[in-house]
Structure 1
Amino acid sequence: MSNTTVGLVFLERVLYTTLTTVPCCIFLFINGTMLYTLRSKPVFRETCRYILLYNLLFADTVQLTLSQLLYILSIGRIFLTYPVCGVLFMLGNLTNPVSPLILVVMSLERCVAVCYPLRHASIITTRNTAVAVIVVWAICLLNVVIQILLLLEFPFEELETLQMNTFCNTVVMFLTPLYYDYDRVYTYFLLISAGLTIISTYIVVIIAARSASTDKASALKARNTLLMHLLQLGFSISSTIHNPLLFAVSKLVVLRVLLRIQNVFYVSIIILPRCLSALIYGLRDQTIRPVLMYNLCCRMKLSGITVKRKVSP
């Protein structure tokens, strides 16, 4: 390989790393600040929709962190062992379905607020919300357990070594056809169920908004919120179809082309959808916005003061 080719390959890696790592770090900072904001005041810790939002952001942040870690490992040509890659892969599979399920719970909460305003406080309690969150995480954990059982069918003892000869990614971990079929069925079932549920709650809210006994302003706000949930579900769908889409593309192109396509998929399908929840809620919610902006600006001011102190003689 000539020096020119080596230089182009190195330049390509630096470019890809910069274009993904910089926005990822920025959005991780925003997500982290948002998570801190949601735990900073009792009104956020004790309000049901903010509890749900915290879990949504937490799952997205973990997913984004894992994705960036695996991306950096692949760019650095660091090969893991199958067990380590499997642990990271399963942790991603644990948090990935949380987003659509939490969005379903949030949509049901808004539907109850419009259709049963007098009973909303007794139905949507902190305890019931905690139970719903536990059920969501339990469903995702059950999915991971099933995936682990399916992976155990692969004859690892026939491998000469557990050291992987390529970087850890989704395609590599689809070790058996049965595992891939299960992942595809589970993904489609989850997203279709979540989509139908959110659309149904949206229709119910529209019907309730036409009722004379319903608070028009509250119904309109709930309708806009459900539309936002549909948008977020679309983002979750784009993130969730990353695995099947990448697997399908891997059958059509060589590994080098696949790596470039994966970079495009990573930015457009993984990074952006996982970062927009914090921005949407943080800028839209009148209660969160001032606290979030204060935390962001305060951190920036403190960073600026620290830099000035270091620079000054």
Structure 2
Amino acid sequence: MRDLTEFPGNATTNKSLSVIIKVCVVIPLFCVFLYCIAVMLHIFASHRQYLDSTRYILFAYMLINDTLQLLSSVLLFLFVMGQVKLYFVFCVPVLFFSTATFQNTPLILATMSLERYVAIFYPLQRPAAWCSDRIWVIILSLWLISCILPIVEYSIDVSDPAAVEILSRPVLCKPAFIKTSRIQALFKVGVYILFFAVVAVVILFTYVRILLETRKLRQDKTSVSKAMHTVLLHGFQLLLCVLAFTSPITESLIVLHANWLSEDIAFFNYFCFILTPRFLSPLIYGFRDQNLRGSILKTIFCCSDKVKPGKRGKIQDNLSAS
């Protein structure tokens, strides 16, 4: 009889310990990510040559988007871990930013691949929208597309009785509690398939075209080869984004081969397929670039990151060639 009375307390203690461990894993990694992003954004802001390059402007935009996506994602994670219930009006903005920034990521990757394509095939007659002082037009367009679709998604079936009930009571801030309609789920799946299919076609097209151009050119193969490798990296980043949709498969495999709790399976999918790709994607891209890697290491190790006058022109040439 004593064991039966102590079991609920032990279960509560184990659950609390599990929550503490999960939070202690996510928060330090998120802080490290924020520090690295802050270092890279500081480098962009303090070196004019980066702001004059369309490629680096788009990369800085990707860093800001990933930061907003992780910030909203970690905030939702803390709400769920703490069982914090919010009214619909407070929950929707966080979910909106999380969805919009998630959808914005593949669009940014497609844009960065197209920028490499334009830089290779139109080096002297680049369209005005792809110049560094006009790239904000494309960035604004990406934001509008990414924001319009979540608005449409959350507006579907707002007159449904279940949706009206959610509006009137506090709920856990999770997409499963907000998106109660099957039409919403189908719309979300359709949008994601369309996004990733279009981006995959764009990346494949630019990679093949640049690869063919590499075989034609007898000179300047180095810059074309760098552009080809950059587009290939964008394909890898897109693959990391697609991992977020493998959670049903991993859940089935874990249930078959391990006796995990449902919340532990959800955390495993969240950490491996949502957080980790967002952590790795900008860091891999940033440290891969030779010029940016040198500036990052100098800033992290508190070295002087001032560029000598004799080397400034050389760095500018490297930026334009890359």
Fold conserved (TM > 0.5)?
yes
Structure 1 vs Structure 2: percent identity of aligned residues? 25
Q: Does 1:211 align with 2:216?
A: yes
CA distance in 2, matches of 1:86, 1:123: 33
Q: How far does residue 46 in structure 1 lie from its aligned partner after superposition?
A: 2.3
SS in 1 for 2:203: helix
* Residue identity opposite 2:204 in structure 1: I
Contact 2:37-2:63 at 8 Å conserved across structures: yes
Q: Determine the structure 2 residue equivalent to 1:162.
A: 169
Q: Does 1:231 align with 2:204?
A: no
CA distance in 2, matches of 1:263, 1:12: 10
Distance 1:160 1:111, change over 3 A: closer
Q: Does 1:285 align with 2:285?
A: no
SS in 2 for 1:118: coil
* Residue identity opposite 1:134 in structure 2: L
Q: Tell which deviates more after alignment, 35-44 or 122-131.
A: 122-131
Q: Determine the structure 2 residue equivalent to 1:187.
A: 192
Contact 1:31-1:275 at 8 Å conserved across structures: no
* Residue identity opposite 1:221 in structure 2: K
Q: Determine the structure 2 residue equivalent to 1:111.
A: 117
SS in 1 for 2:301: helix
Q: Does 1:197 align with 2:202?
A: yes
Considering only aligned residues, what root-mean-square deviation do their CA atoms show, in Å? 2.5
Unaligned runs of 5+ in 2: 1-6, 304-322
Q: Does 1:146 align with 2:152?
A: yes
Q: How far does residue 118 in structure 1 lie from its aligned partner after superposition?
A: 3.0
SS in 2 for 1:77: coil
1:62-77 matches, within 5 Å, as 62-77=68-83
Match of 1:91 among 92, 97, 105: 97
Higher relative contact order (CA 8 A, sep 6+): 1
Q: Does 1:125 align with 2:131?
A: yes
Q: How far does residue 190 in structure 1 lie from its aligned partner after superposition?
A: 0.3
Q: How far does residue 33 in structure 1 lie from its aligned partner after superposition?
A: 2.1
SS in 2 for 1:74: helix
Distance 1:205 1:160, change over 3 A: closer
Q: Tell which deviates more after alignment, 213-222 or 115-124.
A: 115-124
CA distance in 2, matches of 1:129, 1:245: 38
Q: Determine the structure 1 residue equivalent to 2:315.
A: none
CA distance in 1, matches of 2:27, 2:165: 37
CA distance in 2, matches of 1:195, 1:48: 22
Q: How far does residue 161 in structure 1 lie from its aligned partner after superposition?
A: 3.7
Q: Determine the structure 1 residue equivalent to 2:57.
A: 51
Unaligned runs of 5+ in 1: 300-313
User: What do the CA deviations read for 1:175-217 (whole angstroms, capped 9, x no partner)?
Assistant: 2111111111000000000001100100000111111355211
Q: Determine the structure 1 residue equivalent to 2:301.
A: 297
Could you list the runs of 4 or more consecutive aligned residues of structure 1 that deviate by over 6 angstroms after TM superposition?
none
Q: Does 1:272 align with 2:272?
A: no
Contact 1:114-1:214 at 8 Å conserved across structures: no
CA distance in 1, matches of 2:132, 2:116: 15
Q: TM-score, normalised by structure 1?
A: 0.84
Q: TM-score, normalised by structure 2?
A: 0.82
SS in 1 for 2:170: coil
* Residue identity opposite 2:175 in structure 1: T
User: What do the CA deviations read for 1:2-36 (whole angstroms, capped 9, x no partner)?
Assistant: 43222222221122222222222211221222222
How many residues of Structure 1 are paired with residues of Structure 2 in the alignment?
A: 290
